[in-house]
Amino acid sequence: MSLTKTQIVNALQWRMGLINEDTQIKRDWSLIEDWLRGDPQQVEALAAKLSEPLVAAMAWGMMPTSKVSREWPKAATYWSTLCQHLNKQAELPNQMAEKAAALIEAEMQQAAPQPSPQPALQIAEADASRKREMSPAEISPVEAQAQTFLPDEVETVPSNRDVKQEIKIDMVSADPGDEPISTGSDNQATDTQGTIPPAADPQATDSQVTDSQPRSAPGSKWRYESVPEGLDKHEEFYSLSRDSLEGLKLIGARARGKKHKHEGTNCDDWFEFGVSGTWTIIAVSDGAGSKALSRVGAKESCRAALNLLSERLGTHRLESLENLSAGDSIARDPESGTFAAADIEHVQLALHDAMYAAYNAVEVAARGRAENPEYESSLGHQVAIDDLSSTLLLAAHTTVRYKETDFSFILACQVGDGMLAAVNRKGELQLLGVPDSGEFAGQTDFLTSKKKLTRDHLWRKTRGFFNQLQALMVMTDGVADDYFPNDPDMLRLYGDLVVNEIITLRGLNIDDFTRALKATNLPDFDDVQRADFAATVEAVTPDTPRSITIRSVAEYAKQLGLTVPEVVASPALMMAAASVGQLCDEKEAEDKLRVWLDSYYVRGSFDDRTLVVLYREVVK
Amino acid sequence: MAEARRLPVYLLLDCSGSMSGEPIEAVRQGIKALLADLRTDPQALETAYLSVITFGSSAQQVTPLTELTAFQEPNLDASGTTALGEGLRVLERCIETEVRQSNNPEKKADWKPLIFLMTDGQPTDSWQAAADSLKQKKVTQIIALAAGPGADTSVLKQITDTVFEINNIQPETLKAFFKWVSSSIKTASQPINNAADAPLNLPPPPTMIITVP
């Protein structure tokens, strides 16, 4: 026997006289009664949890705005929706009651206790006193683990449903934490014996398990060990921003993966970017996880490549493109990959030379350490270039005046895994990356395998973009793998960056939002503010785990009744979602990016994460 | 949304008649210990999927590839002969159907599967062709354990380079083996950028387990 939070909330609404009774609700209520068994502690804990949004809203209403405005954006949303519904529609009592019911339902659902992400075994190990304090929902059977976001193919909500119904359905599909709560014999057994039998549900085999984001990661088992002092220490994380050219902005961040935090090892990723002449240059690298000094290779290769490209492109201008006639493509020899236009081939050669320069720099770094006995004793052998294995992703961007419009020209090249992806101003995706990968996951090539550095290999991994650019994203596998398949999921990545307000878009206002929302399942801006398309996750940090609420463009799209590409193609829709609140206290785009990289949860994702974005803020 | 990458782990266990009684009980205890240990590891919890294949007079997959939190210890009964060859064929078929390779652009590829093969006797069916076929595909990393004096290490050596040996099937010895299996799984779910042909990076085995050269 199991109850979802929706059922609990429905039953409570019925008790409040907000909705009519039916047999299902009465049955649910009697289950809840059985389950609480009149235990005042249990009842109070659940009631307190469910009232949190109302308390927050009222507290918000009593505080001077200046004091709390930045503290808890959610409370502001609660307050404003509450006010709106109590005032605006006062002359329509029936509808108001209906809306209020929907609102209370929505808010209570959000606040309803989350089932514990812990597996049964750990709950069984937890000490008795802690179990006493757990709300009933936290004692979840293992079957709850298999429940996460509904899969993508779940139907979207038809728009002609009445308001209450619609919100209810949305909430259910939106809420990854809306997992069955076990009542009845299982829980009784838990209370009396203090153990939960290991998973008994034959349905919960691998094929049923999806990995999309549960409310929180199984975080408690992830330890945090600081970066070790000593040879070639790389700081925990790093973020950087600068203005690019022609109104483009450049941000980048890297965050040490959970795996490295757990083991107390260095982050192996690195990135560099810069502007030289009319060119913006990006280099991103991922050190091989199995190699002790790969972080050194990552850093040296990025630096060397950036230096070489800055030097070679600094005075280089593309002229051939300005004279392209309509419909022409950029000609390239299919045998050798040579571009017909010499000025473009120059860029390709520069990229390939940057790969060689990176290789040479890594070799020098390896040789420099080979004589050092400290390295030898720490590695157990003399440093060789393989110990510095890393991938390398390079991109060079310039703006070309074409048909009286600014067009972006990008040429990109990569060795190893990771991804480069460009989104044009229509919201269309073009992948510029060609990752090397083997039969199974985690098998890739590195810069240090010299056979990967032949012209014949490199030109096949050199791709161009000539279009109006909205965003170019360059990332290591730690991010690319979480957005799979990359086509079309790189659009989801861009969408997540925008709806979490890491990338700020400008040039549209609330009227544009309203117009764009009209034809969706969230037809008012109010609906967007009220909708829940976020999940709270816990980042592994040195101190207490940091709780962060991260919005999901995929969830938002689902609630709008649209696909992710449709949402990404509409800056107004994305801006509406971004305006709901902020991700974190950090203000700068690059810091927000770093916090986001450090926090978002995908099952089985614990690699270092690095992402550099070149983007345009103005969308109109 | 795509599914997570999995580390498929297959336990290929000899459940022939000679294993009945104490030895099979030791295996049961070993699997229990393995699960308990893996369930404390956050990486293993997110990635490792376990399957059990047994072979006696015939071979069958008794537990399909299942994530750790949902995994139930199978009922192991020991009887019959030692159909190792059939066990290998079942294994190959399971890998074919259950493990995701990167040739599917829509599905995330799994980590390279890890196989732990344990036997206490001589195979009683033809196994050579099955072993060759498995070896040729290079899709797996097989770790074999010859348990007790009746096991034939030379057969296992033809299946995989990584062969270990224990002198008896006492609960303590097997527990130590499974404990080591657990740490191997934890290690295997770690290297993210392992080159295709990189040797398996195994933790050192406990003292009662002998590496067969």
Integer Cα distance of A127 and A179 in angstroms: 24
Question: How many residues does this entry show for chain A?
Answer: 620
Integer Cα distance of A53 and A532 in angstroms: 13
Percent of chain B whose predicted confidence (pLDDT) is above 70: 89
Q: Give the dihedral of Cα atoms A227, A231, A235, A241; nearest 10 deg.
A: -160
**pLDDT bracket for residue A435 (50, 70, 90):** confident
Q: What is the mean pLDDT of residues A172-200?
A: 32
Q: What is the mean pLDDT of residues A599-607?
A: 89
Indicate if the pLDDT at residue B80 is higher than 70.
Answer: yes
Contacts of A122 in chain B (CB under 8 A): 39-40
Instruction: For residue A195, give both structure tokens.
Output: 């153990």
Express the helix, strand and coil content of chain A in percent, nearest 5 each: 45, 15, 40
**pLDDT bracket for residue A198 (50, 70, 90):** very low
If you average pLDDT over every residue of chain B, what do you get? 84
Count Cβ atoms below 10 Å from residue A443 Cβ, excluding itself. 20
Q: Token pair 């179990």 is at which residue?
A: A131
A201–chain B nearest CA distance, Å: 7
Q: What pTM did the predictor assign?
A: 0.70
Exposure b/e, B102-138, CB count within 10 A at least 16 = b: eeeeeebbbbbbbbbbbbbbebbbebeebbeebbeee
Cα A307 → chain centroid? 31
Q: Which of A172-186, A567-581, B11-25, B112-126 has the lowest mean pLDDT?
A: A172-186
pLDDT at site B64: 95
Contacts of A448 in chain B (CB under 8 A): none
Percent of chain A whose predicted confidence (pLDDT) is above 90: 41
pLDDT at site A104: 57
**pLDDT bracket for residue A343 (50, 70, 90):** very high
* Angle subtended at Cα B134 by Cα B129 and Cα B136, rounded to the nearest 5 degrees: 95
For residue A488, cis peptide bond before it (omega within 30 degrees of 0): yes
- What is B136-183 written as a DSSP string? HHT--EEEEEEESTT--HHHHHHH-SEEEEES---HHHHHHHHHHHHH
Largest distance between two CA atoms of chain A = 84
Complex-level ipTM:
0.78
Strands (E), chain B: 7-14, 48-55, 59-67, 114-119, 141-147, 162-166, 210-212
Q: Helix and strand tally (H, E) in chain A?
A: 23, 15
Integer Cα distance of A418 and A477 in angstroms: 4
Integer Cα distance of A606 and A225 in angstroms: 14
What kind and span of H or E run contains A253? strand A248-255
pLDDT at site A106: 60
Instruction: For residue A244, give both structure tokens.
Output: 């690019």
Please report the sign of the dihedral spanned by the C-alpha atoms of residue A482, residue A486, residue A488, residue A494: positive
pLDDT at site A557: 96
Exposure b/e, A451-466, CB count within 10 A at least 16 = b: ebbeeebbbebbbbbb
Q: Which of A21-25, A483-487, A611-615 has the lowest mean pLDDT?
A: A21-25
pLDDT at site B1: 46
Q: What is the mean pLDDT of residues B203-210?
A: 76
Q: What is the mean pLDDT of residues B144-159?
A: 89
Q: Which of A142, A289, A439 sits opposite B192 (nearest CB)?
A: A289
**pLDDT bracket for residue A497 (50, 70, 90):** very high
Instruction: Say which amino acid occupies A41.
Output: Q
Pairwise CB contact (< 8 Å): B139 & A439: yes
Contacts of B191 in chain A (CB under 8 A): 289-290, 442
Question: Parallel, antiparallel, or unpaired: how do β-strands A462-467 and B114-119 relate?
Answer: unpaired
B43 touches chain A (CB under 8 A): yes
For residue A143, what is the nearest residue in chain B, using CA coordinates? Answer: B70
B157 touches chain A (CB under 8 A): no
Q: Which of B3, B190, B193 sits opposite A210 (nearest CB)?
A: B3
Contacts of B64 in chain A (CB under 8 A): 205-206
Integer Cα distance of A578 and A472 in angstroms: 20
For residue A151, cis peptide bond before it (omega within 30 degrees of 0): no
- DSSP state for residue A390 in the 8-state scheme: B
pLDDT at site B169: 79
Q: Do B136 and B160 meet the contact criterion of CB atoms below 8 Å apart?
A: no
Cα A476 → chain centroid? 14
If you average pLDDT over every residue of chain A, what do you get? 76
